[in-house]
Amino acid sequence: MSTLLEPFHYEFFQRALVVATVTGALCGLIGVYVVLRGMSYIGHGLSHAIFGGAVASYIVGVSVFVGAVVWGLVAALFINKVARRRSIGADAAIGAITSASFAIGIILISVQRTFVVNFEALLWGNVLAVAPVDVLVVLGVALASTAFVFLRYRQLLFSTFDPEVAEVSGVNTARVDIGLAIMLTATIAATMSVIGVTMIAAMLVIPPVIGRLLTDSFSKMLWISVGTGTFCGFVGVYGSYYLNWSSGGTVVLTAGVLFVFAFLFSGWRRRIPALGAEPAH
């Protein structure tokens, strides 16, 4: 028993566990809307786009977090706007805008040559080096995001399912899109350095997909996705202590294993809907 509780004696581990668990839940929550809007790559794309903002804000001497959030928000809204055009899909909009934003960051670094960044840390993060302030920031973003989804649940659902009719029916879809973009950008900016872009991208997609495989109800999908994200964050970091594996990698691998089980189970039930596919009628 004492062996099982051993990691909890370390403060750095407690913080890592809290951040990973909350981030898993948060990504599971937001990811449902991301996946159902056909924007599964936005996590990966925005984390690159934010990089451009982080470098720019470092150079002009403002908070890197604030700069990253503002830059990422502009990129997310621009992606939304471009993706609404029928001739350009969301995947192409994400690819074009986030790559260009990332390129700005690279060029700024090459011009300034004073910005030092650990690319490996950005890729996989360093969940075991989480500072107390990081925990507070992640908890704050999670609380604000949960409140937004709670208070705008129906508007979010309506504008995700059927944006055109939602607009006709009185939903301010532009405002909903902005709210979602703020949530997404704040989540990525708050967790990127501790969790890493690869884990964020994976955790925005895998838990919602598991939820989708297991249910045909939106509300149940939301619960399953949040539960799966929470479970993977906790088990991944906890397991990585004993396995001595990369924490971010173990979290994603846990989600990947659950995805395989969910896929096999849903196949067994003959309920494998194609996510984001065109209407069948």
Partner 1 sequence: MMDPEQLVRFDRVTCRYGREPVLVNVDLEIGAGEFIGIVGPSGSGKSTLLKAIAGSVEPIAGRIERRPGVSIGYVPQVETVNWFFPITVREAVLMARIDERRLPWPSKDEIDESQQVLERLGLGGLADRHIRELSGGQQQRVFIARAMLGRPRLLLLDEPTSGVDVRTRHDVMHVIHDLHHQGLAIVLTTHDLNGIATHLPRLVCLNREVIATGSPRQVIRSEVLEKTYGAPLEVLSHGGMPVVLEQYPELVDEEEGATVLPLREDHHEHPA
Interface residue list for partner 1 (CB under 8 A) = 36, 149-151, 153-155, 157-158, 161-162, 164-165, 167-171, 211-212, 215-221, 273-281
Residue 223 neighbours by CB under 8 Å, 6+ apart: 211
Least distance from partner 1 to the Cβ atom of residue 47, Å:
26
Least distance from partner 1 to the Cβ atom of residue 232, Å:
20
Strands (DSSP E) contained in 182-249 are none
Residues in the chain: 281
Q: Which tokens in the block code for residue 257?
A: 């294993």
Nearer residue to partner 1 within complex by CB, 190 or 221 = 221
Nearer residue to partner 1 within complex by CB, 127 or 176 = 176
Nearer residue to partner 1 within complex by CB, 35 or 94 = 35
Least distance from partner 1 to the Cβ atom of residue 38, Å:
9
SS3 41: coil
Least distance from partner 1 to the Cβ atom of residue 212, Å:
6
Nearer residue to partner 1 within complex by CB, 70 or 221 = 221
CA 130 to chain centre: 18
CA proximity to 237, closest of 249, 226, 247: 247
Nearer residue to partner 1 within complex by CB, 15 or 212 = 212
Residue 244 neighbours by CB under 8 Å, 6+ apart: none
Least distance from partner 1 to the Cβ atom of residue 171, Å:
6
Quickly tell me which residue has 């650990």 as its tokens: 118
Nearer residue to partner 1 within complex by CB, 31 or 248 = 31
Q: What is d(CA 27, CA 4) in angstroms, rounded to the nearest whole number?
A: 27
> What is the number of alpha carbons within 13 Å of residue 38 lying toward its C-beta?
16
Nearer residue to partner 1 within complex by CB, 136 or 271 = 271
**Burial environment of residue 248 by CB neighbours within 10 A (0 to 12, 13 to 18, 19 or more):** buried
Q: Which tokens in the block code for residue 267?
A: 């196949």
SS3 36: helix
Least distance from partner 1 to the Cβ atom of residue 167, Å:
5
